[in-house]
Amino acid sequence: MPARGLPGNANLEQLKHGAKSLQQAVRGGDAGAAEVVREFHPRLAQAIPGSPELRGFTRADAELVVARRFGFPSWAKLESYLEVTAAYARSPHEEPPGGHVSNELELADDFLRLACLTYGEDDPAHWRRAAELLDANPALARANIYTAAATGDVRAATEMLDRDASLANAQGGPHRWQPLLYLTYSRLEAQSPVELAALLLDHGADPNAGFLWEGLSPPFTALTGAFGSGEGDQPPHRHGMRLARLLLERGTEPNDAQTLYNRQWDPDDGWLELLFEFGLGTGDGGRWHRLLVPAHPTPRQMLEDELIAAARHGFIHRVACCSSITSSRTGPAPAIRSMAAAPPCRRRRCGVPLRSSSCCRTPARSRFCVTSSSSSAPRPGPTGRRHGG
């Protein structure tokens, strides 16, 4: 059985309880538990239920199996990873707007919940309600640095940052986000969001600001917010491409796994070409990758995933582009070698346009063939999540 991803909002106590239950099941002769042990314990690959090795199965053995089942080489590595994710875990979708409001701070928080994508129940009616609140209460834009960011109020943000430049990176508001995240996830008709983003960056805002949705990897970054999209078809920011270019010019990591996942259904390649321009597929993956290894994909893995997704959706130009760039930057990936090893498919049932020879019917490449209806197939998993399915 393959390793699996951690559940949302995983914590050490849950996993310790799971290890304790596994130990008890193994010692009790449970065949299913023994199968898990054989698969994931490096020294017990031949053990059978009731054997001396499994009757003496220790808690440390159980913790090792749990860690390896989730893709970590040791319990210590898993424990360290959870310490990191706890600092960045956020669940904005669990903070619905519309609660009781008794003061200006609560009104500002409710306004931000309405104005921003959360990758939960993102409803255009929320953004309309936020706009109505702002029309009725113009001072909301100046309530704090987060409302100023969401509304693109450069004047208000300038006054705040002149008084305290540390606000550019301060976490706060209802989602405990940095201002740059409220700016890029806002779906209001903001005043001057690109100018305000530059102002925040000039004052030291982190261009790689992001959060872990329910503690899961990969992160939702400022770049993810600018590009939008996902399984729920969340709209991009109105100035998404300009914001993305600004962020990339200021040091945002182009190897953004959540952005690649969210935009995989979009036939337009402008966003992908922009990422390639700034080095998608190269480098070490940046700070988020270093923090989240091994749960975070490498730049090479991201390109391979994008290639497979493009082929599945029948985006021929993107397949050719990803294949060429992957080969030139990292050497032919296994997926590319499989696709290149077979003659072209010329059957009309293949979802790839007949004028293209990018897809074929041989076993080596059949998994890349798509049906004519595949682009509208259901998308599994929680809305907008890369590891949902």
- pLDDT score, position 3: 65
Which range, of 129-133, 155-159, 368-372, averages the lowest pLDDT? 368-372
Q: In this model, does residue 331 exceed pLDDT 70?
A: no
**Same structural domain, 56 and 111:** no
Give residue 335's domain range.
Answer: 214-389
The identity of residue 236, as a single letter, is P
Q: Is residue 2 part of a domain?
A: no
Write out pLDDT tens, residues 173-197.
999 999 999 999 999 998 999 999 9
**Dist CA 263 CA 266 (whole Å):** 5
Residues 6+ apart with CB under 8 A from 337: none
Cβ–Cβ under 8 Å, residues 269 and 321: yes
**Same structural domain, 157 and 264:** no
Q: Is residue 282 part of a domain?
A: yes
Q: In this model, does residue 328 exceed pLDDT 90?
A: no
Averaged pLDDT of the chain = 85
Task: Report the pLDDT averaged over residues 357-372.
Answer: 29
Residues 6+ apart with CB under 8 A from 389: 379, 380, 381
**Same structural domain, 354 and 342:** yes
Write out pLDDT tens, residues 211-230.
999 999 999 999 999 999 99
Cβ–Cβ under 8 Å, residues 145 and 167: yes
Task: Report the pLDDT averaged over residues 144-168.
Answer: 98
Which range, of 131-135, 279-283, 326-330, averages the lowest pLDDT? 326-330
Q: Is residue 271 part of a domain?
A: yes
Q: Is residue 4 part of a domain?
A: no
pTM: 0.83
Q: Is residue 104 part of a domain?
A: yes
Q: How would residue 106 be classed by pLDDT, with cut points 50, 70 and 90?
A: very high
Q: Is residue 6 part of a domain?
A: no
Task: Output 387 or 211, whichever has higher pLDDT.
Answer: 211
Q: Is residue 1 part of a domain?
A: no
Residues 6+ apart with CB under 8 A from 174: 92, 95, 109, 110, 112, 113
The structural domain count of the chain equals 3
Q: In percent, how much of the chain has pLDDT > 70? A: 84
